[in-house]
Amino acid sequence: MTVVHRPHVTPPAEALSARTLERLKQRLRTLREEVLEEEAQQEALLRHVHPSNRPSARNLIHYLVLRRGDMRQLQADLAWVGLSSLGRTESHVLVSLDRVLAMLALSTGDELGTYDHAAPVGFRQGDELLQLHTAQLLGAGRPHRRVRIAVTLPTEAAGDARLCEGLVKAGMDVARINCAHDDPETWRAMVGNVREAARRAGQSLRVLMDLAGPKLRIGDVAGGALPARLRRGEAFLLVEEGRHIPEEQTGSSDWRSTCSVAEVFTQVTVGAAVWFDDGRIGGRVEGRGAGWLRIRITHAKREGTKLRANKGINLPETVLAVPSLRDDDLRALAFVAGHADAVALSFVQREEDVIRLQEELARLGGAGLGVVLKIETRAGFENLPRLLLAVMRNERYGVMIARGDLAVEMGFERLAEVQEEILWFAEAAHAPTIWATQVLETLAKTGAPSRAEVTDAAMSGRAEAVLLNKGTYILDTIASLDDILARMAEHQAKKRTLLRSLNISDNL
């Protein structure tokens, strides 16, 4: 007699035991109660949110509770019994919990029951709210792609109307003006040229003006042969701008430069990390005094790394108590309020920063402008939920993932993880996101992209907009990004894979 060995199959009754299903129901009911308890506790915050954004704010609070604990075992158990693992609930948390509870009730023969606290956002409504908020902030976009393309305008856009026409024709949906450069007269010409170009093309266009904020930068670098080439082990002296510090106070240093933000010299402590030029050079504070810091260089190329004036400084281990609106920003706001569609708040760290901006805009008659939070510091990332609830006082709001400074602040190895978390929380708030920094940068500068940045551009389609920086080949770059985003729109919607038919042979 021939014996046939069959693979073991778990009987359905065992897989879906009453004990397993009851345990899952209890865990989800408890989670639902925790979600609603937190919402009730945050009622004071919710009252300040713009009325049209309160459903989104409630959903954000629900998502925050959902992600406080480790959900992985619960996800595995739900998937094991064939139910949603809650892995894509960002835009509609409470209704997701209710639907899974309903399916568990049906599987055990229980009555469905009703809840006296309805979900603020339904399944389809979550996506619809995000699309609505994106259109409000970033414009109508293009028929063939969901994601908008934003471009930083070069100074030449003020005097070159044909350049502006080319940018719009190539696919620019949002024109970004960096208020750290140029002046109101130049900005006025830029705005006029891009709006006229969009009008001629019959294309929607929004103008986003980006406030400089308290960006830490070094002044001229002095000492040794120029340009400065810093090496590991050398001492770098950072001095408050306008101060003369005798060398006998600070000790000998190989290089010296200045920083105009005075708070740095009173709040940075000995031992704190300091990075220059987007993380190319790093060190630690080994001495400090009134108006100066001595930094021992610990990270640079073996042969030394060049450092020029006006490069950025990052202090990832220091939370500076610095207002995000400086005097220059307040002066720029007077122009922004009358000419832009939205304003980006740089180096935002606390909800007070957001409220101050909103108050200034209201004073200047610009309360209707959209406000974009630029998340580029550790404090900004860690306070993101409260920052979102603050910016939702505006009817139009969004988030920019400023990946350059954020990578230095959080550590390059954490950047992928951090940008994912920002995308998740923004989606829970139905806030449009702008994916920024070095997107197709090699293509824009040299005319040929690297393989890695093409993959990065494809991943950027999970945001609602992608920001390109200026460059010699910017028109080609816009066209390439337009093509990449249109292709990826057929395969990916946020973090959800779309199962479009594939162009491969089906002959096995």
Domains and CATH numbers, the chain: 12-121 (no CATH), 129-214+323-494 (3.20.20.60), 228-314 (2.40.33.10)
pLDDT in tens, 393-410: 999 999 999 999 999 999
| C-alpha–C-alpha distance, residues 267 and 24, integer Å | 49
Look at the pTM and tell me if it is higher than 0.85. Answer: yes
Question: Half-sphere exposure of residue 88, counting CA atoms within 13 Å on the CB side?
Answer: 12
Average pLDDT over residues 8-14: 46
Q: Looking at residue 1, what is its pLDDT?
A: 43
Average pLDDT over residues 65-91: 93
Dihedral of the alpha carbons of 343, 349, 350, 355, in degrees to the nearest 10: -10
pLDDT band at 227 (very low <50, low <70, confident <90, very high): confident
Question: Nearest CA to 35 among 56, 53, 60, 54?
Answer: 60
Determine what percent of the chain is predicted with pLDDT higher than 90.
81
Determine what percent of the chain is predicted with pLDDT higher than 70.
95
Q: What single-letter amino acid sits at 317? A: E
pLDDT in tens, 326-374: 999 999 999 999 999 999 999 999 999 999 999 999 999 999 999 999 9
Q: Where are the alpha helices (DSSP H) in 415-473?
A: 415-428, 441-446, 451-459
Question: Nearest CA to 377 among 215, 263, 492?
Answer: 215
Residue 197 pLDDT > 90, yes or no? yes
pLDDT in tens, 245-304: 888 888 889 999 999 899 999 999 999 999 999 999 999 999 999 999 999 999 999 999
Q: Looking at residue 4, what is its pLDDT?
A: 44
Q: Looking at residue 246, what is its pLDDT?
A: 87
Q: Looking at residue 252, what is its pLDDT?
A: 87
Residue 233 pLDDT > 60, yes or no? yes
Beta bridge partners of 289: 292
Q: Give buried/exposed letters for 314-345 (b at 16+ CB in 10 A, else e).
A: bbbebebebbbbbeebeebbebbbebbbbbbb
pLDDT in tens, 132-143: 999 999 999 899
Lowest-confidence region among 24-38, 58-72, 243-257, 357-371: 243-257
